[in-house]
Structures are given as C-alpha cells and as structure tokens.
C-alpha cells in the first residue's frame, strides 16, 4: 500500500537513508467522499421525514458541496501535501451535518421569525463556501505558520480589539439575548470574538514561548509548588483582568472563559508549571463568582443551571427544553426530522444545536459527534507533538485546546454540566463568523501539520575532502 500509493518520482526524490513519509492525500480524498456521503444521506433522510420526499435540490446541493470539498482537497494536495489527512474530512462532515440540521429547523424558525424568510440553511450554505474559500486562501498564501510569529504583537492588539469591541459599542448594536458579544450592522451580524480568539492564541503562543524561561525558572518552591515571582505575575493578571472585563461588560461567560482558559493552558504548556494552572483556576473561579454576584445576567444563568425546571416558561425555558430534547432522543434518537427540539426557540440552530443532535440522532449519534470533535482535538495535539518549532507546538496545541474548550463549554452548557454561556457549537451552529473562524482554525492546523510531517530538506552533503586550513 505504502509503496504503490507513492509515485515513483517522489520516492526517487528521497535520498537513501531518509525515512519515507507518506503524504496520505488519497486517504483524505476517500474520507472526504465519506463525509460528503454522510451529509447527503442525512439531507435526503431529513427531507423525506419532513416532506415525504427527498429534497429536489439534493443533487445540485450535493454537487456544490462536493465541488467545494474537492477544491479544498486539491489545494491541500498541492500546497500542504504532508498535512494531516483526517482534519479536513472530519470538519467537513460536521459542517455538512450542521447544514442539514439548520435546514431541518428552518420550517419552525421561518414560521416564528427566528430565521430569514428564505430560511437559515441557504445562508449557511453560502457561509460554508465562504469559510472553505478562506480556508483555501489561507492554505495557499500562508506557506509557513512561523510567519505569524512575527506579527505576534499586532495579533494581540487586533485580537483584543475584536474581543473588546462589542463591549464598547452601544447595546443596541452588540446585545443579543442578554450577552453583548455581537456586532450587528444592517442585518449583518458578526461575532468578532471568534476571530479574536485565534489571533490571541497565536500571540499567547509567541509571547509565552519567548518568556517561558523567566516564567518557568525564576520561581521559589513552596509546598511542592513553584511560586512565580511577583513581577512575573504581570501577564496572567492582565489577561485575568481582561477576562473579567469581558465578563462584566459583555456578560459573556463563554468568551471570557475561553479567552482566559486558552491563556492559562498555553502558559502551562510553555512553562510546565502546575502552579500556573492552579493560580489561573483560582483567579478565574474567584473572579467569576464575584462577577456572578454582581451581574444579573450571569446569576440568571447560574440559577437556571442549578434549577433548570424552576421557571420553565421564563428564564429556564431554553435549558429545560434542551433537556427534554435530549431525553426524548434516548439511545437511538427519533430519526432526523422527527424530533421536537425546535421548541427551544431562539438559538435552536446555534448554541442549542446539540439538542437536535441528541434528540434526532440519540445518544449514539451524539457520542459519534463528540468523537468527531475529539478527533480534531487529538489531531491538533498530534500536530503539536510532531512539529519542530516551539511556537508551532504551542500554537497548534493552543488551537486544539481552545477548540476542545469551546466544544466543552457549549455542549456542557446545553447538557447542564456547566451554566449556559452562549457560544456557538463549532461547525454545527448557524452563523458565518463562527464558521469562518473555525475553518481558519482548521487551515492553521493543516498548515502546521504539513510542516510537522514534511521531511527536512536533505542536508548538504559533507565534502569527502579533508578539512583544510584556510589561510588568508
């Protein structure tokens, strides 16, 4: 298999003795066909369940999605040939499933003015193409991820700006359902934090890599823990203060938790000091608890989390409805198009998208989706382990951990592990900015994994001649 799938020319390019690295592009192609098949089958099944016949545009949409996937695949084949072969197919599969679920919820959402008149699915289809276009552009033009390291401080500024922007804008522009994490202008809305988080992860990776020695080594040992010096506390305190500001101004626990969590995790990976983790955790929990006591929005969320059935027609309605949906799904689910999760109402196709998966695909389908998310995380971590440069390591691991955090915060919110925070389910939820940001994340991982697995250029052969003393 290995020998037959590798072109002879490529083999010849390797000097003898170099370990042969397979590109695995054909596997990616095969998995993409599989992802396309799952999405189309789900679409046909949903249409049949809801209208009694397969959707008329099945073939057209299938061709469109297929061409998009093919384009992405060809670009990866050409510009990142050593990239991880699993990332793109898994992301595509979740994206496709998300499209189907949005289509599935559309009839209710259109009727209740929760979606545009023509439905949210056509928009999401456009966002999907746009997202993958951004993916393609990034894979083509970002030839080396280390370029980003150079722009660390600009990334930080832009990232902070994007995250903080909704907080300083008037609530009429930025507030949706109590949390101010949006920018809405003329029917167009963006969640800037989705992009901001990527830039900040890049900055954290670059900055903490540079400062890791000071943060790791200059510390005193106390009770088995390395306590950082006072002046080294600066960065974490700044980040903490910023996270608290987000929480207070934007009342967005999700963004705040993800932002600070990403920082602490990268800090830990850079320094390998458990004390930073403990310190960060204490800071966040303490701060969040204090803010929760002040902010009614956060307090309501916490109360709904503790008592989800205390106000089923008011403040705990969505969470209660979400739990009903999961419960109704049981082990195997009602089947696509046969559930009633749309009763969640607002955000049933975004933050609460998972409830539809739980109800219509059951525990089995939900577990499969979790595994798919976990595969992206694991592949990201594997990339981090393989890549050679420390910035790349921190960046890839940071991206993977941020992704895992977002999945956990969102899924945990709608399944009542933690209070609801209002982050969209990655790749699944309706929304252009989140989808685009997630495709950027995958593009970055693809780029770094290509660098990780790409064989080193052959060393310049040493001369056989004796070393000569150069005389001037």
Applying CB under 8 A, which residues contact other proteins? 265, 268-272, 309, 312-313, 320, 323-324, 326-331, 340, 343, 358, 362-363, 366-367, 370, 373-374, 377-378, 381, 384-385, 390, 393-394, 397, 400-401, 404-405, 407-408, 411-412, 415-417
Q: What is the DSSP letter of 311?
A: S
Of 189 and 328, the one with the shorter C-beta distance to other proteins is: 328
Of 18 and 272, the one with the shorter C-beta distance to other proteins is: 272
- Residue 410 CB coordination number (10 Å): 27
The set of residues, in sequence order, having a beta carbon less than 8 Å from that of 301 and lying 6+ positions away, is 253, 419, 420, 421
CB 407, CB 426: distance < 8 Å: yes
Q: How far is the CB of 277 from other proteins (least distance, A)?
A: 9
Packing angle, helices 234-245 and 193-217, rounded to 10 = 160
The set of residues, in sequence order, having a beta carbon less than 8 Å from that of 1 and lying 6+ positions away, is none
Of 102 and 262, the one with the shorter C-beta distance to other proteins is: 262
Q: How far is the CB of 77 from other proteins (least distance, A)?
A: 28
Of 2 and 113, the one with the shorter C-beta distance to other proteins is: 113
Residue 208, classed as helix, strand or coil, is helix
Q: How far is the CB of 145 from other proteins (least distance, A)?
A: 16
CA quadruple 415, 421, 425, 431: dihedral, nearest 10: 140
The set of residues, in sequence order, having a beta carbon less than 8 Å from that of 97 and lying 6+ positions away, is 38, 39, 42, 357, 369, 428
Given 3-state DSSP classes, what are the helix, strand and coil percentages for the chain, each rounded to the nearest 5? 70, 5, 25
Q: How far is the CB of 269 from other proteins (least distance, A)?
A: 4
Measured CA distances, 183 to 59, 198, 426 (Å): 36, 18, 19
Q: How far is the CB of 456 from other proteins (least distance, A)?
A: 18
Q: How far is the CB of 266 from other proteins (least distance, A)?
A: 9
Of 144 and 272, the one with the shorter C-beta distance to other proteins is: 272
Of 209 and 301, the one with the shorter C-beta distance to other proteins is: 209
Q: How far is the CB of 168 from other proteins (least distance, A)?
A: 32
Q: Is 118 exposed, middle or buried (0-12, 13-18, 19+ CB in 10 A)?
A: exposed
Q: How far is the CB of 381 from other proteins (least distance, A)?
A: 4
Of 11 and 51, the one with the shorter C-beta distance to other proteins is: 51
How far apart are the C-alpha atoms of 134 and 165, rounded to whole Å? 23
Of 63 and 282, the one with the shorter C-beta distance to other proteins is: 282
Tokens of 332: 């195997």
Of 123 and 415, the one with the shorter C-beta distance to other proteins is: 415
Residue 417, classed as helix, strand or coil, is coil
Q: How far is the CB of 84 from other proteins (least distance, A)?
A: 15
What residue ranges in 161-247 does DSSP mark as E strands? 175-176, 179-180, 183-185, 188-190, 219-222, 225-228
């Amino acid at each position: 298999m290995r020998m037959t799938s590798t072109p002879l020319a490529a083999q010849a390019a390797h000097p003898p003795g170099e370990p042969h690295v397979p590109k695995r592009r054909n596997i990616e192609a095969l998995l993409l066909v599989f992802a396309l098949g799952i999405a189309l089958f789900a679409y046909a099944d949903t249409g049949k369940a809801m209208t009694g016949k397969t959707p008329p545009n099945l073939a057209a949409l299938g061709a469109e999605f297929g061409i998009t996937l093919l384009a992405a695949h060809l670009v990866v084949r050409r510009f990142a040939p050593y990239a991880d072969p699993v990332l793109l197919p898994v992301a595509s599969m979740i994206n496709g499933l998300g499209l189907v679920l949005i289509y599935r919820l559309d009839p209710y959402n259109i009727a209740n003015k929760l979606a545009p008149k023509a439905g949210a699915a056509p928009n999401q289809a456009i966002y999907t193409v746009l997202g993958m276009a951004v993916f393609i552009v990034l894979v083509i033009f970002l030839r080396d991820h280390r370029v980003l390291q150079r722009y660390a401080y600009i990334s930080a500024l832009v990232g902070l700006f994007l995250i903080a922007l909704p907080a300083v804008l008037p609530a009429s522009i930025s507030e949706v359902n109590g949390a101010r994490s949006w920018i809405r202008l003329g029917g167009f809305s963006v969640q800037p934090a989705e992009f901001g988080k990527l830039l900040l992860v890049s900055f954290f990776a670059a900055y903490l890599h540079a400062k890791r020695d000071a943060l790791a080594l200059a510390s005193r040992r106390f009770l088995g823990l390395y306590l950082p010096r006072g002046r080294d506390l600066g960065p974490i305190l700044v980040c903490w203060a910023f996270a608290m500001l987000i929480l207070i101004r934007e009342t967005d626990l999700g963004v705040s938790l993800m932002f600070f969590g990403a920082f602490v995790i990268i800090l830990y990976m850079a320094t390998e000091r458990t004390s930073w983790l403990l310190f960060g955790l204490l800071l966040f929990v303490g701060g969040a608890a204090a803010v929760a006591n002040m902010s009614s929005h956060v307090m309501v969320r916490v109360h709904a989390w503790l008592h989800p059935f205390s106000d089923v027609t008011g403040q705990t309605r969505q969470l209660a409805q979400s739990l009903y949906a999961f419960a109704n799904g049981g082990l195997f689910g009602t089947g696509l198009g046969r559930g009633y999760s749309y009763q969640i109402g607002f955000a049933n196709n975004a933050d609460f998208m998972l409830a539809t998966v739980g109800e219509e695909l059951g525990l089995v389908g939900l577990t499969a989706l979790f595994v798919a998310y976990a595969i992206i995380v694991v592949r990201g971590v594997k990339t981090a382990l393989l890549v050679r440069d420390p910035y790349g390591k921190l960046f890839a691991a940071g991206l993977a951990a941020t992704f895992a955090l977002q999945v956990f915060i969102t899924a945990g919110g709608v399944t009542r592990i933690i209070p609801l925070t209002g982050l969209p389910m990655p790749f699944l939820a309706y929304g252009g900015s989140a989808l685009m940001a997630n495709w950027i994340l995958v593009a970055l991982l693809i780029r770094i994994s290509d660098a990780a697995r790409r064989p080193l250029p052959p060393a310049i052969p040493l001369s056989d001649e004796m070393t000569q003393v150069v005389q001037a």
